[in-house]
Amino acid sequence: TPAGCGPRRGGHVRKRPQGRDSVDSVANRLLTTHPWQVRESSLDADSLGLGESVFALANGYVGLRGTLDEGQPSAARGVFLAGVYEYHPLSYPEGGYGHPEHGQAMIGVADGTGIRLQVDGVPLDVREAPAGRHERVLDLRAGTLRREFEWTTPRGGRMRLVSTRMVSLAHRATTAIRYEVQALDQPVQIAIRSELTVNCTPPPVDNSDPRVEEALHSPFESCLRGSHQTGGHLVHRTRRSGTCVAAAVEHEILRPEDAQVHTTDGEDQVATSLVAELPPGGTAGFVKYICHAWSREDPPAGLRDQAAAALEAARQLGWEGLAAEQQRVLDNFWQAADVEVDGDPDLQQALRFDLFQLLQASACVNAAPVGAKGLTGYGYSGHTFWDIDSFLVPAMTLLRPEDAARMLRWRSSGLDRARERAQVLGLEGASFPWRTIDGGEASAYWPASTAAAHLNADIARAFGFWADATGRNLEEVGGLDVLVETARVWARMLHRDHKGRCHLYGMTGPDEYTGVVDDNVFTNLMAKRNLDLAADACEANPAAAQRLRVSREEKRHWREAADAMYVPYDHVLGVHPANEGFTTYREWDFEGQQGAYPVQDHAHYAKIYRRQVVKQADLELALWWCSDAFTPEEAARNLDYYERRTVRDSSLSAAAQAVACAHAGHLDLALAYLREAALVDLRDLQQDSQEGLHLASLAGAWLALACGLGGLQTEGGKLQLAPRLPARLERIAFRLQWRGHRLGVETTPAGTTMRLLDTGTSGTAADEAELTLSVDGTDYVVAPGRPAKAPLHAAEPLLQRQPSRQGGNRTGSSQRRNGATPANSVSQRSAAASPASGQAHHAKAPAMA
């Protein structure tokens, strides 16, 4: 759905099927478990979209969906460039001041994946060809997608097709496809048509405004084109946003030597044809190189030359050279970031898949945002949201800090647009967009966008996290300016009551089922931290503070406002209401819900807003990010209260709940949530993975492991750990980077071992320096060749009794089949959440998959 055309997240309303059994079984049946691969053992027409997302390849600059070579059948073809979009009108039933006038939607660019095959005049179509075997393998160590297909022709001959795709992690513009077809037992004539096509697949449009479809249906107009015997180029410009995109293609013919090859070009297509006679056992094959370039400033001819230069470099390297460089990038990545989980093969595979996708989303990103779906699908129109700053940036800060730095530089580059938006809202400072590609607000639903001002503090937190974890100056990523301007916007929005307490009114927190409320606890605490962080940063960088005209009086005002921030508390129940009065709202009828989820598809928001039903972790997220604001007892009571009211209709929820449960000592439940976050796409748990992968959940899975089960905290310039090991797992090992050091952390029942790993840059200070870190409050020193070992502390659950209030009943498909009854407390659910049994009993059971 194009941006801003619907409610909640601003235009994307998921229509989940009522029954989950069939979808879950398809994902489980087709994708087999392997520690370093994702393997699809057969092709299922009902799960094409899922496969196209799971098997997508990208590098942060260019991405392509995992479609079949023939192009059809497909759910949604697409090749994307980060930052390339088209404008479209935003329509409103009733207009209003400050509403964005146009939205942005990511659009498919020149698609070079199409390779159509005819055998003896019959086009290959997997829907019609009698298949002997169809397999696709995503290799997480090689960075390739390999497809093998065997079938029988109408004349009875057996054929084999092998294609391997690669999006280079070393050369951002380059995609390569090695394509080979073999006649196994009969002579055949083959005809191959390899295409580079523009305007072939418009983005999905679910909007009644005809202007939206008109804007996005055929967004490119031709500027330049050309061809030669084995390739050619296309240069196009978007009609509204003025973005120029060039693509060049070349074919290296491998065999047979006598193949007839020629190329034609039109306004929207370059097509290379290969015709050959194959004897039994004969093979025809080629390597196809595709390179892209785009700009809003450079002329078409200049972009054509950029793409041509990248293409020539790829051709000189050849397939083997590109594959070797891909291998080197991934070897280095896994050396620095690998995760090992003994005792849960599904989780092991999922975490490596998740990390691979984080790398694909960010490795080559530059001067462009990372969307919520990365470059894996059209979901959310390619927009970036607060969850990229909140989950992906911190994860990459600890895994590949330079990638995180580039993401932060893009965010800070939008500061002027954020200042303009603040002025429209009558505020000082900067108000960042809820959803965007170009830096301007693109959401037409203000209660879940403009009112969700917590995103400004979330963005500030990302900058502070990066500076703390790397030990580098905020000025390198434009962070001080962001901290100052976001602090200024909070100072302007705050209201002091007659008691001197500071309030934030009319806010929406992360929970989108409770909107436009007063004193949302998460928002207030994050604003408080934003104000303090800005004041600290200005004191550490006085020259930069002077440049931004931050006075001593302004810093004092920030400190005072942070100290006076009001945080609601219900003394009767002993919990924090998610917002003022939340605990007095009417309870949601979970029993009456009868599995009708997501709630937003079955109830009006006028009803949802007045009930105690939580879409995603809100106060529980505060338990993680603002843990010092709660005593352990308060955290435990809050956890128990909100666990029974959180339905997790958002993929962002499970990771935060995993960390909160781990910190409270409920490790089985923490593991269940960790598995849900990690497996969200491999098991299609939200039933919308066909629209693209859930990057924030995938990043959240790694954070849930490191910050939840690993107890990792990074504030104050010191690394702290509090490792815990769920009973089901035999061993957990993860790696991270901290202030130039590469650290390995390994936890077994015998204890936790920390060791410094080779940085790969011999002679650096990090190679020679010691690292002091804390484990469960005790300091340890690790140095090259001198690991340290800490005892494993037993996790004592903070909740031992069953609470007196009844929780909601929302169970997964396995519980419906078995007639299980949900438990009512975190402690009871934690005991019931054994992944070995495939069941977890609580308001909505974590997906054990």
Return the structure tokens found at 156.
Answer: 């009875």
Give the whole-number percent of the chain exceeding pLDDT 70: 89
Location of each CATH 1.50.10.10 domain in the chain = 388-433+443-567
Residue 386 marked in a binding site = yes
Residues in Cβ contact with 268 at an 8 Å cutoff, skipping those fewer than 6 apart: 197, 198, 199, 200, 220, 222, 234, 236
Annotate 181-247 with DSSP letters as a single string: EEESSS-EEEEEEEEEESSSSPPP---S-HHHHHHHHS-EEEEEEEEETTEEEEEEEETTT--EEEE
pLDDT given for residue 30 in this prediction: 81
pLDDT given for residue 752 in this prediction: 99
Return the structure tokens found at 634.
Answer: 């308060």
Annotate 469-516 with DSSP letters as a single string: HH---GGGGTHHHHHHHHHHHHHHH-EE-TTS-EE--SB--S-TTS-S
Burial of 506 (0-12, 13-18, 19+ CB in 10 A): middle
**Would the pLDDT of 204 be above 80?**
no
Q: For residue range 594-619, what is the model confidence (pLDDT) as tens digits?
A: 888 999 999 999 999 999 999 999 99
Q: How much is the average pLDDT of 503-519?
A: 98
Q: How many CB atoms lie within 10 A of CB 223?
A: 18
Question: Is residue 512 annotated as part of the catalytic site, yes or no?
Answer: yes
Spelled out in words, what is the top-level CATH class assigned to the domain 388-433+443-567? mainly alpha
**Would the pLDDT of 141 be above 70?**
yes
The alpha carbon of 611 is separated from its chain's Cα centroid by a whole number of angstroms, namely 30
**Confidence bin at 17 (pLDDT 50/70/90):** very low
Residue 226 phi, psi (nearest 5): -175, 160
Helices 552-563/521-540 angle, 10° precision? 150
Return the structure tokens found at 70.
Answer: 């023939």
Q: For residue range 379-396, what is the model confidence (pLDDT) as tens digits?
A: 999 999 999 999 999 999
Q: Are 134 and 324 in contact (CB under 8 A)?
A: no
- Dihedral (CA of 608, 612, 616, 619) sign: positive
Location of each CATH 2.70.98.40 domain in the chain = 21-337
CA–CA separation, 159 vs 529, rounded Å? Answer: 63
Residue 718 marked in a binding site = no
Which superfamily is assigned to 21-337 in CATH? Glycoside hydrolase, family 65, N-terminal domain (2.70.98.40)
CA–CA separation, 463 vs 405, rounded Å? Answer: 9
Q: Are 320 and 651 in contact (CB under 8 A)?
A: no
Annotate 257-299 with DSSP letters as a single string: TT-EEEEEE-SSEEEEEEEEEE-TT-EEEEEEEEEEEEESSS-
**Would the pLDDT of 826 be above 60?**
no
Could you tell me the pTM of the whole model? 0.93
Choosing from 512, 643, 691, 746, the catalytic residue is: 512
Return the structure tokens found at 510.
Answer: 């992360």
Q: How many CB atoms lie within 10 A of CB 393?
A: 26
The torsion defined by the Cα of 610, 611, 615 and 616, in degrees rounded to 10, comes to 100
Judged by DSSP in three states, 423 sits in: helix
